């Protein structure tokens, strides 16, 4: 089937409408209903959990006569299951829609299949219309669907010999200004910044994202403090622009699931060696950022502690994706690999 220019324009409009919806557990979705001659009849978007989906929202503005024979242009494949609302594929069929175009396939095991349902009922369906733009819009949500939890980046700063602090516990500043500015930029790209109570008690961090002059950046990650010890009433984190989340759970997978329900897609962990090691040990790390300064500290305060590795065969293998120089420091970005290295031998 040929996608008309007017339909591509309608998809661009649907993508713009989608961003009106909240970022969270549910995807941002927009929809446009076109007449057979290409006129926009109605528009809609998803306003959050429990509200009508974008297609149903758009159809609600039309009479049955207007919808019959029309084209639905949607940013995400119409869902095929009943949750808090009914299946959008069935709503489109009931309205008499004759043609459906969408940008991104629904990755859900339960919710996918709307396109096949529509085709089986005789509706013309065109997938991947402005798919790249649609996937860009839904990038963080799609990552959560793939992982089943938020994406986790673990960051630490270390000396050249792998220490996160000097023997007396001091750690400010191992790295220079350029590296610290890069950290704040990455904080601002996250939905939540996670630390342990040890870091809060030792350093009293504000956990804000700031520019080089110290001013708050436009987007602030929500602070999350994990640990059994109480956070002092006058701690800097309690003055964060966003209300902190406190958790005493040692089950980090459960913590991540709780954050997902809060609409968190990207987690930035920079809470010290104990917490970083726990995320690695529990297999919950998707990206590692290691800022390495050309200094030597010696002593016992390693950037990572026990991560459950007893022998070289059990090493957590990483694929190095980039190395960047930041002033006098280096930033190494790496991702865990799930397959053994090519030269690995069976024992």
Q: Which of 7, 55, 77, 270 is catalytic?
A: 55
Rounded to 5 degrees, φ, ψ at 181 are -65, -40
Q: Is position 65 annotated as part of the catalytic site?
A: no
- The count of C-alpha atoms lying within 13 angstroms of the C-alpha of 336, restricted to the half-sphere facing its C-beta, is 17
Partners of 126 in beta bridges = 101
- The burial of 16, by beta-carbon neighbours within 10 Å (0-12 exposed, 13-18 middle, 19 or more buried), is given as middle
What is d(CA 337, CA 17) in angstroms, rounded to the nearest whole number?
Answer: 38
Contacts of 258 (CB under 8 A, 6+ apart): 247
Partners of 45 in beta bridges = 30
Contacts of 101 (CB under 8 A, 6+ apart): 3, 7, 10, 11, 71, 72, 73, 74, 125, 126, 127, 129
What is d(CA 23, CA 13) in angstroms, rounded to the nearest whole number?
Answer: 18
Q: Catalytic site residues?
A: 55
């Amino acid at each position: 089937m040929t996608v008309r220019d007017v339909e591509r324009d309608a998809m661009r409009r649907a993508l713009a409408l989608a961003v009106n919806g909240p970022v969270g557990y549910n995807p941002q979705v927009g929809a446009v209903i076109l007449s057979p001659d290409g006129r926009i009849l109605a528009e809609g978007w998803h306003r959050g959990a429990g509200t009508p989906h974008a297609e149903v929202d758009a159809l609600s503005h039309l009479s049955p006569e207007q919808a019959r024979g029309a084209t639905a242009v949607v940013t995400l494949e119409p869902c095929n299951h009943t949750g808090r609302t009914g299946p959008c594929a069935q709503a489109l069929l009931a309205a008499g829609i004759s043609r459906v175009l969408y940008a991104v396939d629904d990755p859900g095991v339960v919710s996918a299949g709307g396109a096949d349902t529509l085709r089986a009922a005789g509706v013309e369906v065109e997938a991947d219309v402005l798919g790249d733009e649609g996937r860009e819009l839904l990038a963080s949500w799609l990552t959560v669907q793939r992982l089943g939890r938020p994406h986790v980046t673990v960051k630490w700063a270390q000396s050249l010999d792998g220490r996160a602090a000097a023997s007396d516990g001091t750690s400010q500043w191992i790295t220079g200004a350029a590296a610290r500015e890069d950290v704040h930029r990455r904080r601002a790209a996250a939905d939540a910044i996670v630390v342990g109570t040890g870091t809060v008690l030792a350093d009293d961090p504000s956990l804000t994202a700031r520019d080089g002059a110290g001013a708050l950046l436009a987007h602030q990650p929500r602070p999350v403090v994990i640990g059994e010890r109480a956070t002092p009433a006058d701690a800097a984190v309690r003055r964060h622009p966003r209300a902190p989340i406190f958790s005493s759970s040692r089950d980090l997978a459960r913590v991540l699931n709780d954050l997902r329900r809060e609409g968190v897609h990207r987690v930035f962990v920079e809470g010290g060696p104990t917490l970083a090691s726990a995320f690695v040990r529990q297999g919950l790390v998707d990206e590692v950022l290691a800022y390495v300064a050309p200094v030597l500290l010696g002593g016992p305060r390693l950037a990572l502690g026990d991560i459950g590795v007893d022998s070289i065969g059990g090493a957590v293998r990483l694929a190095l994706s980039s190395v960047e120089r930041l002033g006098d420091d280096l930033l190494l970005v790496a991702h865990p690999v799930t397959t053994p290295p090519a030269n690995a031998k069976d024992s």
